[in-house]
Amino acid sequence: EGSLTVAELAKKLGREPSEIIKKLFMLGVMATINQDLDKDAIELICSDYGVEVEEKVTIDETNFETIEIVDAPEDLTERPPVVTIMGHVDHGKTTLLDAIRHSKVTEQEAGGITQHIGAYQVTVNGKKITFLDTPGHEAFTTMRARGAQVTDIVILVVAADDGVMPQTVEAINHAKAANVPIIVAINKMDKPEANPDRVMQELMEYNLVPEEWGGDTIFCKLSAKTKDGIDQLLEMILLVSEMEELKANPNRRAIGTVIEAKLDKGRGPVATLLVQAGTLKIGDPIVVGTTYGRVRAMVNDSGRRVKEAGPSMPVEITGLHDVPQAGDRFMVFEDEKKARQIGEARAQRQLQEQRSVKTRVSLDDLFEQI
């Protein structure tokens, strides 16, 4: 806090209040012993005594999730949109991304079901777009919610032959909760049973009204299989992201979110991170969730080693002491010592929280038995 009374300031400086009052008088300020002094007056007196005023740090760095990133407008530059593909199981999300990326992820999936969040970056008309692929199976609600939280745009995939299904509705709710714009992709238009009008009608119930019907939701009819309509979808993504004016400061210590993490036999803990601001570099001291370390190696979505990752870029890193959790936040610190301190403090806090939950549970158990 910026204010102190004359008496409080005198005590802090180890002087008599009368001396302070005299000094203030010499400086042209009339003051009484219980008078509140403003920041300028305090600084003036302190500098007269040769004491440097240290601003109290009010930001709790162990709680870095809550730190608001404030950058000067001139430090901000355009960043790629983060686009999350959501929708009901088997409606063609991964196939759509395969078509966009010219990849064959679907073929490698067990039972043709996506079970994790995939993160990829593609370049369209010289502009990068980051895509997150989410699972549609009902068991993976948390992953969908997480995807919606880190995204700028949601692509809602609805199969034209199947229509709106439970996880379609769930995806809409996640997007709305995260306040993220939705682009609807009506997929499987190549199928003879395709009925896009039915899909559009069903979605009206959720306030997603196509522009051609007087609403303001962008609908793209396409086929991930034949690739018809995919170019238009990409154009729409670029259009919407332009309107969103997505920006970040690449010249700050990186901050972002864990997309997924695992323990690799050879490489140790491996985490896929989405950089949201700043630039992540090899060697950076980093705190991720409740663990920490130093970025040892970074690999991009096509398995190539990279030295740095800027805003909106997904990268896989090694060099952490432990495996973090998907959804954890990460932040780079000035040195390894600091990263360790913060990481350990966060781990400690989590342990205490877990213990207090356990105690509560066992007390409840106890009362139940009585």
Tell whether 189 is in a known binding site.
Answer: yes
Type of residue at 236: M
CB under 8 A, 24+ apart: contacts of 350-358: 350/290
Contact 329, 65 (CB under 8 A): yes
For residues 99 and 231, the answer to whether their CB atoms sit within 8 Å is no
Which of 84, 106, 121, 312 touches ligand GTP by CB under 6 A?
106
Q: Would you count residue 114 as binding Mg ion (CB under 5 A)?
A: yes
For residue 92, the partner it binds in Mg ion, ligand GTP, none, with Cβ less than 5 to 8 A by kind, is ligand GTP
The nearest distance, CB 82 to ligand GTP, in angstroms, is 18
Q: Is 358 exposed, middle or buried (0-12, 13-18, 19+ CB in 10 A)?
A: exposed
**190 annotated to bind ligand:** yes
By CB neighbour count within 10 A (0-12 exposed, 13-18 middle, 19+ buried), where does 136 fall? buried
Please pick, from the candidates 2, 112, 166, 283, the single residue that binds ligand GTP as defined by CB under 6 A: 112
Residue 56: exposure state from Cβ atoms within 10 A (0-12, 13-18, ≥19): exposed
Q: Determine the Cα–Cα distance for residues 226 and 24; give it in Å rounded to an integer.
A: 81
Task: Provide, rounded to whole angstroms, the least separation between the CB of residue 326 and Mg ion.
Answer: 17
User: Does residue 79 interact with ligand GTP by CB under 6 A?
Assistant: no
Interacting span for Mg ion (CB under 5 A) from 7-15, 29-37, 111-119, 306-314: 111-119
Q: Tell me phi and psi for residue 217, to 5 degrees.
A: -100, 135
32, 21 Cβ separation under 8 angstroms: yes
- The nearer residue to Mg ion, 224 or 331, going by C-beta atoms, is 224
Stretch that binds ligand GTP, among 24-32, 105-113, 233-241, 339-347 (CB under 6 A): 105-113
Cβ closest to Mg ion, residue 222 vs residue 295: 222
Among 2-10, 106-114, 115-123, 177-185, the segment contacting Mg ion (CB under 5 A): 106-114
Which residue carries 């959720």 as its tokens?
Answer: 206
Tell me the two tokens of residue 322.
Answer: 């432990």
Part of the chain binding ligand GTP (CB under 6 A), chosen from 147-155, 188-196, 203-211, 263-271? 188-196
Ligand-binding site membership of 126 (annotated): no
Q: Is 174 annotated as a binding residue?
A: no
Tokens of 162: 């199947």
| Closer residue to ligand GTP, CB minimum distance, 93 or 294 | 93
191 binds ligand GTP (CB under 6 A): yes
Binding mask 34-73 for Mg ion (x = CB under 5 A): ----------------------------------------
Task: Based on the shown chain and the rule CB under 5 A, indicate whether residue 93 belongs to the binding site for Mg ion.
Answer: yes
The label of the residue with tokens 């009010």 reads 58
What is the rounded CA–CA span in Å between residue 24 and residue 1? Answer: 21
Which is closer to Mg ion, CB of 94 or CB of 276? 94
Q: Are strands 118-124 and 36-37 parallel, antiparallel or unpaired?
A: unpaired
Please state the closest distance from residue 105 (CB atom) to ligand GTP, in A. 9
Residue of 351, 370, 314 lying closest to 81 (CA atoms): 314
Give the residues lining the site for ligand GTP (CB under 6 A): 87, 89-95, 106, 112-114, 135-137, 187-188, 190-191, 223-225
* Annotated binding residues for GTP: 87-94, 133-137, 187-190
